[in-house]
Amino acid sequence: MVGVRRALALLLLGFYVTQFAMTAWLGPDEMFACYLGLALCYGLAFMALGAEWFWGRWFAIGVGNFGSLILLVLFKIGLEPIIAFFGFTHLAIAVLLLGEGMASRYEHSEATAERWNFHEDSLVLMRRATLSAGSTIPFLILYALAPRPETAQLIALGAGAVGLWGLLRGQTWGAFALGGAGLVALADGLGLLGCPPVGYLLLTPTGGPIIYGRTVGLLAAFVMLVPLGLAPAMLRFTRRNR
């Protein structure tokens, strides 16, 4: 069943890579960069999961968590088929990848143990950070690239991209770079850097916005969860080495 669940998760991720790529191509010109970015983010999750990179399961679950949050919109507007489909298929991605059997293909595989030689505590921290990154990077993309990015938004996106690269290579500075991106998004979302940003999440090339306005900046600020999740371990390490 592990192979079947993995195949279904890959199928759903592949569907959204195609969906966001089509939205970038067929949607409004000012949204092209944003939805190309989302397609690349989902493509990274698809590739990492398919290639069985040790962090691939965590990142894909995080992306699934991102889409699952859209289900909260249903409490406000009632049952909307497109939103329900988007949310529940993302929830399915996250659920399909749970379990020790699935973990044995990724972070607990022999290849991971031989190449990386992680301690269990290190795996816990990496899992926490990568899950948070997968859940929040899409919000950062929506904030930074839609529809007319300003300098602060591009700085946040650059810090987020570099930080994600560092984090997935096991570098602590990557978490701090992601935290910096979150701080910029928070300040911008609160209007401290000028006019609050405006972003949109379209579920079809012609569909209406699901998330819009300054909320996008505030949601992107949750990328700060990545370094915050590592903070307790950093404090313990600092105390032990005094």
Please report, as a single letter, which amino acid is at residue 168: L
Q: Is residue 74 very low, low, confident or very high in pLDDT (cuts 50, 70, 90)?
A: confident
Work out the average pLDDT over 20-30.
87
On average, the pLDDT of the chain sits at: 87
Neighbouring-strand partners of residue 199: 213
Reply yes or no on whether the pLDDT at 26 is more than 70: yes
Question: Residue 31 and residue 198: Cα distance in Å, rounded?
Answer: 12
Q: Is residue 93 very low, low, confident or very high in pLDDT (cuts 50, 70, 90)?
A: very high
CB atoms under 10 Å from CB of 40, counted, come to 16
Reply yes or no on whether the pLDDT at 192 is more than 80: yes
User: What's the confidence (pLDDT) of residue 155?
Assistant: 92
Please report, as a single letter, which amino acid is at residue 226: V
* 147 close to 200: Cβ distance less than 8 angstroms: yes
Task: Give residue-wise pLDDT tens across range 112-122.
Answer: 777 877 777 77
Question: Residue 178 and residue 215: Cα distance in Å, rounded?
Answer: 19
User: What's the confidence (pLDDT) of residue 115?
Assistant: 80
